[in-house]
Chains A and B, each alone.
Chain A
Amino acid sequence: MNPKRILIDTDPGIDDSLAILLALASPELSLEGISVVHGNCSLEQATTNGLSVLELAHATHIPLAKGCELPLVQPSLLAPETHGNTGLGYAKLPEPRIKPTPQHGSDFLIEKILSNPGEMTLVAIGPLTNIALAIRKEPRIVGALKELIIMGGAIRYEGNTTALAEFNTYVDPHAAHIVYHAGIPTTLVPLDVTYQCVLTSQDVERLQKLDSPIPDFVKDTTDFYMEFHDAYQGMKGCVINDPLALALTFAPELCEYQTLPVDVDISGGVSLGKTFADFYNYEKKPANMRVALGVRPRDFIELFLGRMEKLARSVRG
């Protein structure tokens, strides 16, 4: 079978970087490009990080385009407490030699999607600004995109940014509103499932047996992330949200889904950015996405570790 052709829209970001590595380590996938957005860190920093991670994994042939540096309507909100000042925790990757493509991230997505109608799966693991802008600028991408997998939202789970809202959605709720209602076949991967998937320090130690810069990066970047989870959420280990969303492109059986009408609050009150599903169909609106609500966490973590081991064997220092 031909590998599934994917694009990643991302704000790397610790778990974003792990998702990029997982894509590169997975023969089921052909990663055809990355668009970068503000979010976990600034657009500039996220772009540098994206390029550095591609160099780390010897994947400099993959095009990366810079997108939006601000949310559509809300003021900028970055997450240095979660991802560190560089966005990659304690990892120190060399300054990248490769450059981003000159195109804007939204235009890059539009071109890739329109030139391959029905072919591209887009994995959105940051705030949805680039994708919302692309939809509004070129509405035909809605019909041309095969599938959209979004890491975002907290349906029956507490928020990780406000009491109610998940980070990616809270940072640009208006963009999320645009994307949710565009009519693209969408799968949402909310905190309900990602918070079951905890990478432990034992898991990270296991990778250390291989002599490669990949395990070193995973350790340095997740050490910081684990300290954050401990300090802010009283959790041992760290939640790798974005790699789970990425894994569902080729291993959908890791999750259980319900097809539901989903919306996001943009009314500006205490629940701004809250993603919610109408489980009982009170509002009689049609379902607009498939939502992952159950997960086999250990199967996913094992899959992730196996792929990182494979990548580590192919990328030597």
Chain B
Amino acid sequence: MQGNGVYLDYAATSPLDERVLQAMLPYLREPAGNPSSLHSFGASASEAIEEARGKVAAMIGASPEEVIFTSGGTESDNLGVLGLARSDPGKRHVVVSPVEHAAVRECIAGLERDGYEISRLTVDGYGMVDPGDVERALRPDTALVAVMWANNEVGTVEPVEEIARVCAERGVPLHVDAVQAAGRLPMDTGRVPLSTLALSSHKLYGPQGVGALYVREGVRLEPVVHGGGQERGLRSGTENVAGIVGFGEAARLAGLEREQRVRHERELRDLLIAGVSEIPGVHLRGHPEERLPNNVHLTVEGVESESLVLMLDALGYAIGRGSACASSGHKASPVLLAMGITEEEAFSAVRVTVGKDTSRDDVSGFVGAFREAVERLRELSPVRVR
């Protein structure tokens, strides 16, 4: 990747795997056919897409025809949430967790503006939803439930399997954002009766600009993007052939190497947590065990996150603020507030995420730099560390 220093922001995006790049190159070099064309170029592109579809489906225990390619995680969430809601106009009630990514949160806000009634669930101090709450929130007119698989900010893994059972028993569709979880947590749509599942390629060493939505067979969905009827009419527009091929290869490798990657990430994650926990006033947020193997989310007393991120950048370490997407405006992350974290604490939140290419040296170097940056900013800060 372009940039300097050690990259510890894998949850924002991950570097393209060399093997993925090799798989994509033929489709970037040669004039790629339009998969809809009848000639041999078109047929070749079409075959490549179908092969990738099979690989993505295999990663989540689905059949290929249940996978719809999109432009990324955000579009997949839009298609899942809006598509489910609009497929049954008689139902005007939605149940949603308070820790969803903006891609889901903003779709729900749009539905609310359109007159939908929204039941927002609560979470515990770790950001975890109680499946019992989901059950109690369901109504005969509930159009869908949206709960993410694992949180992009604090890394907490939600009890999706239980929630999916609750929803399935009551016949209510469930949309799950698995953008951060895919490739890291075992994922079998055969076991978990959810309706739609959003995936992204660039979080698992694939290219940016491509994602997918799993749509369970028999689930009705209203398209969001209209046009030439590609992707079973659910996502019109000429396919991003090279991107889809890359996503397919990335998904295949993720399935193949998942256990080994997770072992590596978890070891580094725990090393990192142990190191930074020695600094006074540094708190791990999110669930201590039920969390993504690569995620460390911290609040740091007396330190503001943007300063910390940029100071570490200057020291040679790239990490994320509490939430990459909320960081442009100076607003506390709604996810952290839902967990009962104060605004002041929320402004001090940073996210450190490791990946398959992170080394032990990277982590030990980071811990030292982190300590230095925190000390320097605390020396600067008029806010006392408790």
- State yes or no: do A and B come from one complex: no
Task: Give A contacts to B, CB under 8 Å.
Answer: none
State the B residues within 8 Å of A (CB).
Answer: none
